[in-house]
Amino acid sequence: MVWENIKLAFKSMFTNKLRTILSLLGIVIGVMSVVTILTLGNSASGSITDAISTGGTDLITIYTSGNSSTFTEEFGDTLRRNINGIDAVTPMGSQQVRVRYKDTTSNYTVNGVQASWAELMKYNVAQGEWFSTEDNLSRRQVVVLGSEVAKKLFPGGDAVGNYVSVFRTQAKRYLVVGVMEEKDATLSVSFNNAVFMPYNTMKLRLGGSSRVGTYIVKVSEGKDSTVVSDDIRDYLDNLVGSDAYSIFSASTLTSIANDITDTFTTFLAAIAGISLLVGGIGIMNIMLVSVAERTREIGIRKALGASPKVIRGQFITEAIALTMVGGLIGIGLGTFISKLVTNLAGWSFKVSIPAYALSVGFSMVIGIFFGWYPAKKAAKLDPIDALNYE
Amino acid sequence: MVPVIELDNVSRYYIVGDFIVRALDQVSLQIQKGEFTAIMGPSGSGKSTLMNMVGCLDTPTSGRILIDGADINGLSEEDLAYIRNKKIGFVFQQFNLLPKLNALENVMTPLLYTGDIGVSERKLRAQEALEKVGLKDRMKHRPNELSGGQKQRVAIARALVTQPSLILADEPTGALDTKTGIQIMDLFKELNNEGHTIVIVTHNDEIGTSCPRLVRIRDGKIEENA
């Protein structure tokens, strides 16, 4: 009987194609919106996580401020000895400088870092090489350029082996030893528009405050970076107070970002859900029309022995079939649109299975809910009246 | 022998505004198995009401209706539907075929509501019924591709297919030309000869008098019960 009802439902949907399509539109748009929003939310959240993790989820960045004399180069070792789960700590200094090559001059951030830094950040050399520990210890005047800096100063691609002038109070010539690959900025470092030089060289030549501006902490393998960053926070709060530093780790940022996207997604999906409700009312409307139009058919079926229960089943099935077809079309369109948008935005496309399940389930519930009243009306028709209906 | 249908002092009143319309007034009637009965009367005589009662589409205000000896009084809609399906085969003036279904599917429909017959057997029995009314080569045709006489034959096949106790025909020739009407009446006679119990409701004298038994009804009462 169920199977017969499904066949009947599709038969009646096909006899009135245009009307079926129009009455489905509400559900299609509703489901499409829900699927698109949830899928995009899922994909965006994934992309945010990816973006944050490019710097490495095992990295914690500590920014220092104020005049505390605690933040020396050696403080990195102190930190490593006092807190469990730290693999390495490397100091980093940043300053704004002017860099010139021939007639081109531009302002850049110069980062003074140790030789191990590039590997720590998973930052790869495109041409030439990264500077060595020896360069750092000997305070050699060498620089490595971020990809955009190299492009701007050396449009011909001949950066390595040439000298650039770096200004602070006076110009000094630095040998370009390497050009780096492109790398998306993390929340603590921008790579492509920066110039990198040995930490000690920077300290000697560019001076500035004796305080180390930034420490990059690498968490030991298998340790939870959230736990380690909490431990660092406790330690520093005791030592210098919470005003003297701020701390960022990829994993805490990821969870904050995910919370935000989740909230937005839920909010938008709820709004889209309202359009599903409107779609459901459309279904109810068309089912009422259908029952009125087919009054005679209902009368005939009742005369042939269809019980009220059977008639009700027939019309409920029809309503469910309508909403399910609408739901499936909506899922298809929603997936297509999300795929399009993620491609345009450059996010990785992540299908949201709960979105599909939710849409199919919700379509069915709407079919039952809004099909119930018309079906009940059909079931209660008096067979004699229905047979004489013109 | 238990009559197929027994009406025992059956009345059916309608309230229209302040009036009570006595559509049927204390009617008693028995129809035996194998009978071929015409119920005749002018319009407004109560014959449609009588037909609706016999067909279990309506229940009496007072009195009893027994079908195969079972009282239908107080039965629910579900039970009445079951009795219509099992015991009664309807044939209507306007054929009342389902327009989206072909002849075979139309004839299969009542068996669907029987609930316990598989699709292959439904098809087989519908084919047999269509063959019996001479429509073996029209099974896949939809009603709009059939002539009036053919439509009525499909309707008769649909009435036959459940092997009901009674075939109840309401003006079965009313929408047909004279020649086709005679063919349909011949088909009913043939079915009666095979043992089917048939009741035809009509206002047409010619049809009425051609049936072996004639019941005349006027103003809600039985006038002649031959």
Does the distance separating the beta carbons of B58 and A15 come in below 8 Å? Answer: no
Residues from chain A contacting residue B109 (CB–CB below 8 Å): 301, 304
Does the distance separating the beta carbons of B85 and A387 come in below 8 Å? Answer: no
Q: What pLDDT is stored for residue B116 in this prediction? A: 85
- Of the candidates A361, A358, A366, A365, the one whose C-alpha atom is nearest the C-alpha of residue A280 is A366
Does the distance separating the beta carbons of B57 and A304 come in below 8 Å? Answer: no
**B115 close contact with A: CB closer than 8 A:** yes
Q: What pLDDT is stored for residue B151 in this prediction? A: 95
Q: What is the pLDDT of residues A267-317, one digit of tens each?
A: 888 888 888 888 888 889 889 998 999 999 999 999 999 999 999 999 999
Cα radius of gyration (chain B)? 17
- All residues at 6 or more sequence positions from A215 whose CB lies less than 8 Å from its CB, including other chains: A61, A62, A64, A71, A75, A76, A79, A89, A90, A91, A92
SS3 of A94, please?
A: strand
Residues from chain B contacting residue A12 (CB–CB below 8 Å): 100
Q: What pLDDT is stored for residue A76 in this prediction? A: 85
Q: What pLDDT is stored for residue A168 in this prediction? A: 78
Residues from chain B contacting residue A302 (CB–CB below 8 Å): 57, 81, 84
Residues from chain A contacting residue B144 (CB–CB below 8 Å): none
DSSP class of residue A161 equals T
Per-residue pLDDT tens listing for chain B (226 residues): 889 999 999 999 988 888 888 899 999 999 999 999 999 998 888 888 999 999 999 989 999 999 999 999 889 999 999 999 999 999 999 999 999 899 999 999 999 999 888 889 999 999 999 999 999 999 999 999 999 999 999 999 999 999 999 999 999 998 899 999 999 999 999 999 999 999 999 988 889 999 999 999 999 999 877 6
Q: What pLDDT is stored for residue B169 in this prediction? A: 95
pTM higher than 0.80: no
Preferred mutation among B84, B114, B162 to probe A, highest tally of A CBs within 10 A: B84
Kindly state the helix (H) or strand (E) to which residue B225 belongs, with its residue range.
Answer: strand B221-225
Residue B6 phi, psi (nearest 5) = -135, 120
Alpha-carbon distance of B89 to A179, in angstroms, equals 93
**In terms of CA atoms, which chain B residue is nearest residue A309?**
B78
Total number of domains in chain B: 1
Tell me the percentage of chain A whose pLDDT exceeds 90.
Answer: 28
**B57 close contact with A: CB closer than 8 A:** yes
Q: What average pLDDT does the structure give for chain A?
A: 87
Residue B199: give its domain's CATH number. Answer: 3.40.50.300
* Residues A131 and A179: beta-carbon distance below 8 Å: no
Task: Calculate how close chain B gets to A299, using CA atoms only, in Å.
Answer: 9
Neighbours of A330 (CB within 10 A): 29
Domain ranges of chain A: 2-51+255-387, 90-211
In this complex, the residue of B86, B96, B100 whose CB is nearest that of residue A15 is B100
pLDDT band at A187 (very low <50, low <70, confident <90, very high): low
Q: What pLDDT is stored for residue B43 in this prediction? A: 85
Q: What is the pLDDT of residues A112-127, one digit of tens each?
A: 998 888 888 888 999 9
Q: β-strand B166-170 against A245-249: which pairing, if any?
A: unpaired
B8 inside domain = no
Interface of B with A in 168-187 (CB under 8 A): none
Q: Give the amino acid at B92.
A: F
- Of the candidates A196, A210, A208, the one whose C-alpha atom is nearest the C-alpha of residue A99 is A196
In this complex, the residue of B52, B78, B98 whose CB is nearest that of residue A300 is B98
Task: Calculate how close chain A gets to B8, using CA atoms only, in Å.
Answer: 22
Neighbours of B200 (CB within 10 A): 26
CA angle A374, A379, A381 (to 5 degrees): 95
Alpha-carbon distance of A31 to A104, in angstroms, equals 55
Tell me the average pLDDT across A349-362. 85
B18 inside domain = no
SS3 of B91, please?
A: strand
Alpha-carbon distance of A34 to A204, in angstroms, equals 59
Residues from chain A contacting residue B158 (CB–CB below 8 Å): 304
Q: What pLDDT is stored for residue A208 in this prediction? A: 66
Find where tokens 């194998």 sit.
Answer: B34
**A301 close contact with B: CB closer than 8 A:** yes
> Is pLDDT above 70 for A54?
no
**A16 close contact with B: CB closer than 8 A:** no
**A6 close contact with B: CB closer than 8 A:** no
Residues from chain A contacting residue B78 (CB–CB below 8 Å): 307-309
Task: Calculate how close chain A gets to B79, using CA atoms only, in Å.
Answer: 8
Does the distance separating the beta carbons of B55 and A304 come in below 8 Å? Answer: no
B122 inside domain = yes
SS3 of B184, please?
A: helix
pLDDT band at A56 (very low <50, low <70, confident <90, very high): low
Q: What pLDDT is stored for residue A269 in this prediction? A: 82
pLDDT band at A206 (very low <50, low <70, confident <90, very high): confident
Preferred mutation among B85, B120, B122, B151 to probe A, highest tally of A CBs within 10 A: B85
Query: E strands within A102-167?
Result: 104-113, 125-128, 142-145, 163-167
Distances (CA, A) of B195 to A215, A348, B13, B165, B167: 104, 76, 35, 10, 11
* Residues A272 and B52: beta-carbon distance below 8 Å: no
B25 inside domain = no
* Residues A39 and A331: beta-carbon distance below 8 Å: no
Q: What pLDDT is stored for residue B18 in this prediction? A: 87
Residue A63 phi, psi (nearest 5) = -100, 135
> Is pLDDT above 70 for A77?
yes
* Residues A367 and A281: beta-carbon distance below 8 Å: no
Task: Calculate how close chain B gets to A280, using CA atoms only, in Å.
Answer: 26
In this complex, the residue of A15, A307, A387 whose CB is nearest that of residue B81 is A307
Alpha-carbon distance of A102 to B69, in angstroms, equals 116
**B113 close contact with A: CB closer than 8 A:** yes
Q: Give the amino acid at B192.
A: N
Alpha-carbon distance of A204 to A93, in angstroms, equals 12
Q: What is the pLDDT of residues A217-255, one digit of tens each?
A: 888 888 888 888 888 988 988 888 888 888 888 777 777
Q: β-strand B166-170 against B198-202: which pairing, if any?
A: parallel
Task: Please name the residue ranges forming H helices in B88-199.
Answer: 103-114, 119-132, 148-160, 178-193
Who has greater pLDDT, A191 or A53? A191
Residue A29 phi, psi (nearest 5) = -65, -40
Environment class of A133 (CB within 10 Å of its CB; exposed 0-12, middle 13-18, buried 19+): exposed
Alpha-carbon distance of B192 to B210, in angstroms, equals 13
Preferred mutation among A304, A318, A387 to probe B, highest tally of B CBs within 10 A: A304
Least reliable range by pLDDT among A41-50, A94-103, A174-183, B150-159: A41-50
B202 inside domain = yes
B9 inside domain = no
CB contacts < 8 A, A to B, total 60
Q: What pLDDT is stored for residue A309 in this prediction? A: 93
B88 inside domain = yes
A260-288 b/e with 16+ CB inside 10 Å = b? ebeeebeebbeebbebbeebbebbbebbe
* Residues A150 and A179: beta-carbon distance below 8 Å: yes
Residues from chain B contacting residue A305 (CB–CB below 8 Å): 81-82, 84-86, 110, 113-114, 162
Does the distance separating the beta carbons of B82 and A303 come in below 8 Å? Answer: no
Task: Calculate how close chain B gets to A306, using CA atoms only, in Å.
Answer: 6
Residues from chain B contacting residue A299 (CB–CB below 8 Å): 96
Distances (CA, A) of A371 to A25, A287, A311, A367, B44: 16, 7, 12, 5, 39
In this complex, the residue of B81, B98, B162 whose CB is nearest that of residue A297 is B98
> Is pLDDT above 70 for A55?
no
Residues from chain B contacting residue A384 (CB–CB below 8 Å): 52, 57-58
Residues from chain B contacting residue A307 (CB–CB below 8 Å): 77-78, 81-82, 113
**B118 close contact with A: CB closer than 8 A:** no
B215 inside domain = yes
